[in-house]
Chain A
Amino acid sequence: MKRGMSLAIFIFAATILVVAAGTIWPNASAISYAGGRKGGALGSTSTPQSAVEELGALLKLRATAKAYESLANKAEFAEPEFERDLAGSGLSLRTYATLDSFEVQPLHQSDSDAELLMKMRWSSVVGTFDDTRDLHAIKSGDRWVVQWPLKHQARVPPQVIPVNYLRWDVINRGPGDDWGTQDVEAPHVRIVDMHPVNRAEGVVVMGELLNEDVMPAFVSVRATLVSKDGSVLDSEGAFDMISQTLLPKQVTPFIIHFPGIPLSKVTSIRMDPLSVLVSASADPVVEIENQQYNSGHGAAATGQLTNQSGHAVNVAHVLSTFYDKNGQVVWVAGQYVDRALQPQTPVDFRVPVPQDLADKISAERTIVATYIQGNIQ
């Protein structure tokens, strides 16, 4: 009996110990499900960094109400404003984005306050986007609390905007009205530039495609790499690195990646542009302002997008083509804008360029593809 009780006590003690160990030093899965909390601290805020990490964990778990309650400056704004700051106003990439990861960098700390940088990487349906915030943490008793730097959204006063745009409709498309079974000739499109380069990750094929026709075209490009013996090495499409809907005489850049295939293995490249007739309109008009290229550290094309139409653009995709001094395409890059483009409200964009190409670039051209919910044809 005595041995039995000793065994029972051992089992209780060992269970408590392993549970404590699993909580203090959680494994990767446990950390992930706990919103990134490391070290098993159940909401510990004993240092400025741990306070920001706790806030990040709450955001990762989409516990926005708890995150708001934890803020030092919550009296300055309401919870819906905090939510709008994170999720954006109106449907956008931010609306359903989840916080994939975050990093906290301490910048300065005294006994009573601290400055920290929080780099958040959000995951959206079209990819990840970054959001960096400068946070101020203050000591409150024996714990630290974070002041959230709310970004106030600009509000445009009510006004009437005249809308005047070209529009092309397609009628009687064909039997069954099914896509791709059209009985009409496809719009004429042409690859006006094509340029393969060898990158560390593999071959990259880039170029530009022109809609030569007088009607809009829905386009895509596929490249097939052929080896010396005539066999196909790989075949890939531009996916979202192309603007699919081209109005008459419009040009779109494209870039196609072939990871793992060196250019030395490639003898020829077969390009297959595809176009079909499509209904389209010039609306919405998105103006690109203050466009410039910075070739220094963190080379990028930057500027502002302004939606000139009367309704919000939910998602905008900025595609930039970079040229060398001879006018040849050097690189094509893109960036999704994480916030909706509200009418007449400028939104910054930044399209990064690989640093090794930065000095070769002498000009750039940017276009914008847009998605409006419920406006899909």
Chain B
Amino acid sequence: MSAPTLAPERPVPMSFIIMAAVAIHLPLLLMQLPLKSYDTNFHIFFASHYVHHWFDPWNPKWFAGFSQTTYPPLPQQWTALLSYIFGLNMAYMAVQFVGIVLLAVGVYRFSELWVSPRAASYAALASVFLGSESFLVYSAGQLSTTLAAPIYLNALPYFYRWLRSGSWRSFLKASILLVTAAAAHHATLLFGSAFFALPVCALVVMDARSSEDPEKTSVAALLIRLVSLALVAGAAIAVVLLPFWIGLIHNPVTQTPIPHPSRANFLLSPEWGVNYFVVPYGALILAVPFIVMRGSSVVRLRPLMIGFWAAFLVGLGGTTPVAHLLLGRAFDVLTFERFSYWATLLCLPILGSIIATLVDRFRLKALIPIAGLAAATCALAVSWSTFRPADASNFSVDSVALWLNRDGHDQYRYITLGFGNKLSRLAIQTNANSVDGESNSSRALPELTEFGGAALTSSKYFGKPGLDSLRAMLNHADRYGLKFVIVRDPYYAPLLYFAGWRQVDALDDRTVTIWSKDGVPPATPMNASDRPTHMQGILWGTLPVGFSLLAILVVFLPEEKLRNGWATEQPYLYYDLVAGGATS
């Protein structure tokens, strides 16, 4: 065994890390693999509305009319903007690709706060292979989460620098990036504050109390800076997402919780444990004990490790009582794969530090298995959308869209049954409006909110609550001008038959049947009281994108180096050796 070296080695160049991201993810995105995921079509549907109605977030195509201000708009608006060049599908892939590249950069910059630049570079490289990232991109299709987190990670170094040094440029950059992250996904900022920002605050306090701190920042100064940033960023977020808050106050989330398997106990339901633990974590599961040991051993890493541990426990969903105790009723509303995603991001700096130690000690003997495990983790998560696809069958909705668009059929509303995530794809292509939809937080119709089922098109997967919701909607077809039910799953035929619907047409070699109800009046505009005002539409169409453009501009403002004289490499080397011994 070769002796450990104390000589600091060079970090992996950022250009190499970005090339790795390009090499792995760009082909997959060019193949449009995320289109198979659960939510990708939903984001593209939102984007398609922004393409045609940039300043009018009222979308009549779902839920008999709903406001898109119920969901932070930034990723979809960027998709809409880029669609003028690439088309909607490829624009989505482009935005997602930016998120992946920003993640590598963000992880590097965030890790630099905690560990040496070299360890940070390993962390950034690891982010390219991260199972949770690939799981969210290719299986879940969570564009907003995977775009907001990198922006947030990129904001945190400025946040740290503002607290430490009081640099007004850092204040400006941190504020604008935080607001941009909120415009991409509000939940990331809300929970990120606890999991990401609190450890950074603790780090600032620890560094400020360090004898090596030349500036000797007082606790009072730190508090004033923290509060001022929180106030300014909070106020800006309140304004930028004002239509969202107005909508939330007007229609608070009171709907019956919809079951989600990320809330299962992964030991009692191992199939969900594989989906929400094994696949997102991959080989990181092997590293978790060492991450805890390293994070505990190095004093400076403790806040980060505790942040990781908290996110890890919450990400286990119903496996532990922690998430339920911490979140209360929100436990039944939130989904927990994003907490696992944040946990994996939080542990990356410590993982980078462990990898640096192992590579120092064992060189290729360490590097080869680590690279192999990283590749296997990424491969499993990418291929998971094939092993466990959101939709078992891929089919075109072109013929259904054509049918709805002809002969005045679009004067009535429709629902689909058995269309899965093609519901959004159909909504993009047809002029007709539906009472169904995929954005659960945007629903207001009592037939959808009172039972605990998600989209009607997949109601059978939600058991009795889902079918009760479907029956209630069919029973009130007259109220909503719901005249057509488009069926791709014969399971539903007996219900339609006994409830007075008649099959009137069949498409695609009779794999799709169209059912109609007599005496239903044409659809009329509904939910008018929920419609955002013109001013809200203007705000929604300008501020989120405006802040993102501002963020792009301000990050290019020159800044002093992140690591000042008070932060030396020496502590990392010392602790790398001590904890590295335990690791090896």
A: which residues have CB within 8 A of B? 1, 4-8, 11-12, 15, 18-19, 21-23, 25-27, 29-30, 32-34, 37, 40, 42, 93, 96, 98, 100, 123-128, 176, 178-180, 218, 220, 222, 235-240, 242, 244, 274, 276, 278, 314-315, 317, 369, 371, 373, 376-377
Within 8 Å CB of A240, what residues of B? Answer: 495, 498-500
> 26 A-B residue contacts at CB 8 Å?
A5-B293, A7-B302, A8-B296, A8-B297, A11-B292, A11-B305, A18-B321, A21-B321, A22-B318, A22-B322, A23-B267, A26-B265, A27-B263, A29-B318, A40-B268, A100-B463, A127-B467, A176-B407, A179-B516, A218-B518, A237-B478, A239-B499, A239-B500, A240-B495, A240-B499, A276-B518
How many A-B contacts at CB < 8 Å in the complex? 175
Contact of A33 among B272, B460, B504 (CB under 8 A): B272
**What's the Cα separation between A276 and B500 when bound, in Å?**
12
Docked complex: B410-455 residues within 8 A CB-CB of A: none
Chain A, residue nearest B479 (CB)? A235
* Chain B residue nearest to A179 in the complex (CB): B504
With A11-B309, A21-B320: A37-B500 Cβ-Cβ less than 8 Å: no
Enumerate chain A residues within 8 angstroms of B500, measured Cβ to Cβ.
Answer: 218, 220, 237-240, 242, 244
Closest to B332 in A: A29
B319 touches A220 (CB 8 A): no
Contacts of A278 in B (CB 8 A): 502
The docked-state distance in angstroms from the alpha carbon of A268 to that of B70 is: 41
- From B269, B320, B332, B494, A371 is in contact (CB under 8 Å) with B494
Chain B 383-432 residues near chain A, CB threshold 8 A: 407
Residues of B within 8 A of A (CB): 259-261, 263-265, 267-269, 272, 289, 292-293, 295-299, 302, 305, 309, 313, 316-322, 324, 331-332, 407, 460, 463-464, 467, 471, 474-475, 478-479, 490-495, 497-500, 502-504, 516, 518-519, 578
Smallest Cβ distance from A314 to chain B, in angstroms?
Answer: 7
B445 to A: closest C-beta gap in Å: 16
| Nearest chain B CB to A172 CB, angstrom units | 16
Complex CA gap A209/B268 in Å reads 53
Interface pair A34/B407, CB less than 8 Å apart: no
The answer to whether A125 touches B272 (Cβ under 8 A) is no
Please, which residues of chain A bring their CB within 8 A of the CB of B319?
Answer: 19, 22-23, 30
B320 touches A22 (CB 8 A): yes
User: Contact between A18 and B494 (Cβ–Cβ < 8 Å)?
Assistant: no
Contact B318 A371, beta carbon cutoff 8 Å: no
Minimum CB–CB distance for A153 against chain B, Å: 21
- Quick one: which of A21, A29, A126, A377 contacts B498, CB cutoff 8 A? A126
Q: In whole angstroms, what is the CA distance A377 to B503 when docked?
A: 7
> Least Cβ distance of A349 to chain B in Å?
15
Contact A8 B475 (CB under 8 A): no
Shortest distance between the CB of A273 and any CB in chain B (Å): 10
In contact, B259 and A96 (Cβ under 8 angstroms): no
Which residues of the other chain, B, contact A4 by a CB distance below 8 angstroms?
Answer: 293, 296-299, 302
Known: A8-B295, A18-B321, A123-B464. 19 other contacts (CB 8 A): A1-B578, A4-B296, A12-B289, A27-B265, A27-B331, A30-B319, A33-B318, A34-B268, A42-B268, A100-B464, A127-B471, A180-B518, A180-B519, A218-B518, A220-B518, A239-B500, A317-B498, A373-B490, A377-B503
Q: B505: nearest residue on chain A (CB-CB)?
A: A178
* Distance, CA A376 to CA B494, complexed state (A): 10
Chain A residues in 8 Å Cβ range of B504: 178-179
A30 touches B269 (CB 8 A): yes
| CB nearest to B269 among chain A residues | A33
**B267: which of A7, A18, A19, A176 is its contact (CB, 8 Å)?**
A19
User: Cβ of A125 and Cβ of B309 under 8 Å apart?
Assistant: no
In the bound complex, how far is the Cα of B583 from the Cα of A193, in angstroms? Answer: 84
A8 closest partner in B (C-beta): B296
* Nearest Cβ on chain B to A83's Cβ, whole angstroms: 18
Pairs A-B, 6 closest by C-beta atoms: A30-B318, A33-B264, A30-B265, A34-B268, A4-B297, A8-B296
Contact across chains for A27 and B321 when beta carbons are under 8 A apart:
yes
Cα(A357)–Cα(B539), bound, Å:
60
Question: Which residue of chain B has the shortest Cβ distance to A96 in the bound complex?
Answer: B491
> How many angstroms from the CA of A314 to the CA of B494 in the assembled complex?
9
Q: A239: which B residues are within 8 A, CB to CB?
A: 471, 474-475, 499-500
A299 to chain B, nearest CB (A): 24
Which single residue of chain B is at the shortest CB-CB distance from A18?
B320
Nearest-Cβ distance from residue A126 to partner chain B, whole angstroms = 5
Residues in A whose Cβ lies below 8 Å from that of B499: 239-240
Give A98's nearest chain B residue, CB to CB.
Answer: B463
Residues of B within 8 A of A274 (CB): 518-519
Complex contacts, B460 vs chain A, CB 8 Å: 96, 125
- Asked if B320 contacts A19 (CB within 8 A), the reply is yes
Supposing A1-B297, A4-B297 touch, asked if A376 and B463 sit within 8 A by C-beta, the answer is: no
State in angstroms the CA–CA spacing of A218 and B492 once bound together.
Answer: 20
A7 CB contacts on chain B under 8 angstroms: 296, 302
Instruction: Look across to chain A and name the residue whose beta carbon is closest to the beta carbon of B582.
Output: A5
Shortest C-beta distance, B242 to chain A (Å), equals 34
Cβ A8 vs Cβ B467 within 8 A: no
In the bound assembly, the distance between CA atoms of A1 and B581 in angstroms comes to: 12
Chain B residues within an 8 Å CB radius of A37: 268
Given A19-B319, A239-B499, A242-B500, are A123 and B519 also a contact pair (CB < 8 Å)?
no
In the assembled complex, the Cα of A274 lies from the Cα of B264 at a distance in Å of: 48
CA distance A235 to B261 in the complex (A): 38
- Closest chain-A Cβ to B555's Cβ sits at a distance in Å of 36
Question: Which residue in chain B gives the minimum CB-CB distance to A4?
Answer: B297
Q: In the complex the two chains form, what is the Cα distance from A12 to B264 in whole Å?
A: 22
Distance in angstroms between the alpha carbons of A12 and B433 in the assembled complex: 53
Residues of A within 8 A of B497 (CB): 371, 376
- With a CB–CB cut-off of 8 A, which chain B residues contact A238? 500
Chain A residue numbers with a CB within 8 Å of B261 are 33
A contact residues around B474 at 8 Å (CB): 239
Q: Is the CB of A125 within 8 A of B518?
A: no
Query: B265–A34 contact, CB under 8 A?
Result: yes
Q: Is the CB of A42 within 8 A of B267?
A: yes
User: In angstroms, how far is the closest chain A Cβ from the Cβ of B243?
Assistant: 32
User: Once the chains bind, are B264 and A128 in contact (CB under 8 Å)?
Assistant: no
| B272 contacts across to A, CB distance below 8 A | 33
Contacts of B302 in A (CB 8 A): 4, 7
Choose from A40, A126, A376 the contact partner of B503 (Cβ within 8 Å). Answer: A376
Asked whether A369 and B498 contact (CB < 8 A) given A7-B302, A125-B460, A376-B503, the answer is: yes
Which residues of the other chain, B, contact A317 by a CB distance below 8 angstroms? 498
User: Bound complex: CA of A178 vs CA of B516, how far in Å?
Assistant: 9
**B-chain residues with CB within 8 Å of residue A315 when the two chains form the complex:** 494, 498
Residues of B within 8 A of A123 (CB): 463-464, 467
**In the complex, how many angstroms separate the beta carbon of A246 from the nearest chain B beta carbon?**
12
User: In the complex, A244 Cα to B499 Cα: how many Å?
Assistant: 8
Contact A22 B296 (CB under 8 A): no
A100 to B272, CA, bound (A): 19
Q: A29-B332, A218-B502, A242-B500 are in contact. Are A12 and B265 (CB under 8 A)?
A: no
B322 contacts across to A, CB distance below 8 A: 18, 22
Residue of B nearest to A244 (CB): B500
Known: A29-B259, A33-B263, A123-B467. A19 touches B316 (CB 8 A): yes
Least CB distance, A179 to chain B, in whole angstroms: 4
CB distance from B380 to the nearest CB of A (A): 22
Q: Give complex CA distance A331, B497 in Å.
A: 23
Taken together as a complex, chains A and B put the C-alpha atoms of A371 and B471 apart, in Å, by: 18
- With most chain B CB atoms within 10 A of its CB, the pick from A25, A93, A239, A369 is A239
Q: Is the CB of A23 within 8 A of B518?
A: no
Q: Which of A1, A29, A178, A222 has the most CB of B within 10 A?
A: A29
CA of A128 to CA of B263 in the docked complex: distance in angstroms?
Answer: 25
Which of these, A11, A276, A369, contacts B296 with CB under 8 Å? A11
Q: Which residues in B have their C-beta under 8 angstroms from that of A21? A: 320-321
Q: Nearest Cβ distance between residue B40 and chain A, in whole angstroms?
A: 25
The reply to whether A179 and B502 form a contact with Cβ atoms under 8 Å apart is yes
